[in-house]
Amino acid sequence: MAQKFAALAPFRSLTWEDLETWAGSKTVERGRSYWHGGQVRALARTREGRIVAWVQGDERYATRVERREGLLASACTCPIGWACKHAVAVILECLDHMAEDRSIPLAVPKDPRLELLKDKEPARKTAGETARKTRRTATAETESRPRPAAARAGR
């Protein structure tokens, strides 16, 4: 039984808080309604523990998610590209399958979703985004902080 989801075990410990930290609460809410609406289709897994699915929105998007060393990563053909509502919906569908002990079929080697997403490296992109965000925050803080030298000169 447990063997069936061995590669997906990292998803098991996922909490709502993890999802919200990753994608933001609004995206989680939207993903949840996509999932509730049955918009996740043809869920499949890879041997490496990645999950792929089609998610039907305004268009049909290919979405891939994984969780490594406690970190979520995703790739999607939608304009957002990662940590999107489609990825959240796919994660929820995966968790639902695991909770109900429904098997998730293994994706075929040339699965069209994997083909569409093969050039998207989620881990790198996630790291880049985080670094950029950190830099932006640091810059904003520096700029909004009063400059001691200028204040002293004015006195």
- The binding site for Zn ion (CB under 5 A) comprises 76, 78, 84, 86
Residue type for 30, please?
R
Q: How far is the CB of 122 from Zn ion (least distance, A)?
A: 12
- In the bound state with Zn ion, the residue whose beta carbon lies nearer, of 59 and 143, is 59
Q: How far apart are CA 105 and CA 53, in angstroms?
A: 11
* Minimum CB distance to Zn ion, residue 80 (Å): 5
Smallest gap, in angstroms, from Cβ of residue 83 to Zn ion?
A: 9
Question: At its nearest, how many Å lie between Zn ion and the CB of residue 55?
Answer: 7
Q: Where are the alpha helices (DSSP H) in 1-155?
A: 9-12, 16-23, 25-36, 85-99, 112-117, 122-144, 148-154
Cα separation, 130 vs 16, in Å, equals 20
For Zn ion, the closer of residues 45 and 86 by Cβ is: 86
| Phi, psi angles (nearest 5°) of residue 29 | -60, -45
Closest CA to 88 of 103, 67, 68: 67
Query: 45 or 122: whose CB is closer to Zn ion?
Result: 122
Distance separating alpha carbons of residues 49 and 36, to the nearest angstrom: 24
Return the number of the residue (86 or 113) whose C-beta is nearest Zn ion: 86
> Which residue, 8 or 84, is less far from Zn ion as judged by CB?
84
Q: What is the nearest approach in angstroms of Zn ion to the Cβ of residue 151?
A: 47
